[in-house]
Amino acid sequence: MRMFSWLGRTASSCLSPLSQYARMNKDDEEGLGGEDDALLWSKDLEKHSHGEFSFAVVQANAVLEDQSQVETGRHATFVGVYDGHGGPDASRYISDHLFGHLLRLAREKGAMSEDVLRTAFSETENGFLTLVRRAYAIRPLTRDHNASMEEVRKELRNLHPEDSEIVVMKQGVWRIKGIIQVSRSIGDAYLKRPEFSLDPSFPRFHLPEPLRRPVLRADPAIVTRELQPNDKFLIFASDGLWEYLTNQEAVELVYNSPRVGIARRLLIWAMEKAAKTRQMPYSEIKKLDQG
């Protein structure tokens, strides 16, 4: 059957009342059968504009990712089968919105056309992406206090204008006084009080000259966020994880993976990336000595 003949019949039905007969979702309708098999259900026979139809569904996964719908009018029948993957969200959204867009656009234009069909797909895509942005937005709850960040180095230079070596590049890494990367901490007394920085009893923590003022701070940066119903999860991790995974990578892994064992999966992925950075297989990096 050619596309234009289908479009023509659908155009007629778009201007007439339509009825929803079936959706490929066990929870949407009752009487779908399958008493002898909880994973299989069906409709044996229903009417549509040019005859009859039947459909059946079997659930192979823990969550049914595929969806379908049958919409009938006086002169045409709309059938959609949506093959979901990576979760049911997109296929469910299509089932709930695609035909509505198609019907509205055809009525606005006065006829069905290929452009109307393309626009309906485009509006469905844009609507789903808007939902994804809301639900999938990454909102960091902390700010790194690390000399590797330009804003931290700028802050330190502004606080210590007389010290040309307040931040120093050492072995390819920015460090405060050439020693430490973090700019805020509890402890590290030798970088806060002169009586500790000049004590020769601790050569590892000995500075060549006295401090005029503390170069590290202990006050926290506080971020407040009220959790929303569409917030999916929080990830708490030390810099050992964030050194190898970006916020985007970590969120995508958690979002697209089963919850069972997800913390372990994050660490394994970070170690695999660390292995690639060192140009060695993951099996070998596990054998490295600690420290």
**pTM of the complete model beyond 0.75:** no
For residue 186, the model assigns a pLDDT of: 92
For residue 36, the model assigns a pLDDT of: 58
For residue 271, the model assigns a pLDDT of: 87
Residue 6 pLDDT class (50, 70, 90 cuts): very low
For the ranges 5-14, 44-53, 216-225, the one whose mean pLDDT is highest: 216-225
Give me the DSSP letters along the chain.
--HHHHHHHHHHHHTS--EEEEES-TTT-S----TT-TTEEEEEEEEETTEEEEEEEE--SSS---EEEEEE-SS-EEEEEE---SSSHHHHHHHHHHHHHHHHHHHHHTS--HHHHHHHHHHHHHHHHHHHHHHH----S----BTTSHHHHHHHHHH-TT-TTSEEEETTEEEETTTBSBSB-S--GGGT-HHHHT-TT-GGG--SS--SS-SSB-PPP-------TT--------HHHHTT--HHHHHHHHHTS-STTHHHHHHHHHHHHHHHHTTS-HHHHTTSPP-
Q: Which of 250, 248, 181 minimizes the C-alpha distance to 216?
A: 181
Residue 221 pLDDT class (50, 70, 90 cuts): confident
Query: pLDDT digit string (tens) for 24-57?
Result: 444 444 444 445 566 677 778 788 778 888 877 7
Name the burial class of residue 285, with classes exposed (0-12), middle (13-18) and buried (19+) by CB atoms within 10 angstroms of its CB: middle
For residue 199, the model assigns a pLDDT of: 63
